[in-house]
Amino acid sequence: MATLQIRDLADPLHHQLQLRARRQHRSLSQQALSDLQQACGGDPCERRRHALVDLQALADEQGKRPLDPSPEELIRQDRCR
């Protein structure tokens, strides 16, 4: 896994990150990773899962046949990769 070091972090930003970490009961590093992940669009697996659920709902609304394979099966297959 890669490592990221941030230099010259402004004190107000560091303080804000510390506050957010305390509120979420996370370490400073965990909070920074969480914030970066959210800024980059969130967890890719979670986005994919939501997209599949949305597609299934759309197919149901339009009376089309359910997705084959099911969203759950696609997620299982994705986890195996």
HEC per residue, 37-76: HHHCCCCHHHHHHHHHHHHHHHHHHCCCCCCCCCHHHHHH
Cβ atoms of 28 and 21 closer than 8 Å = yes
Q: What is the pLDDT of residue 23?
A: 95
Q: Which amino acid is at 63?
A: G
Q: Digits of tens for pLDDT over the chain (81 positions)? A: 889 899 999 999 999 999 999 999 999 999 999 998 888 877 778 888 888 888 888 878 877 666 667 788 888 888 877
DSSP 40: T
Taking the whole predicted model, whether its pTM rises above 0.85 is answered as no
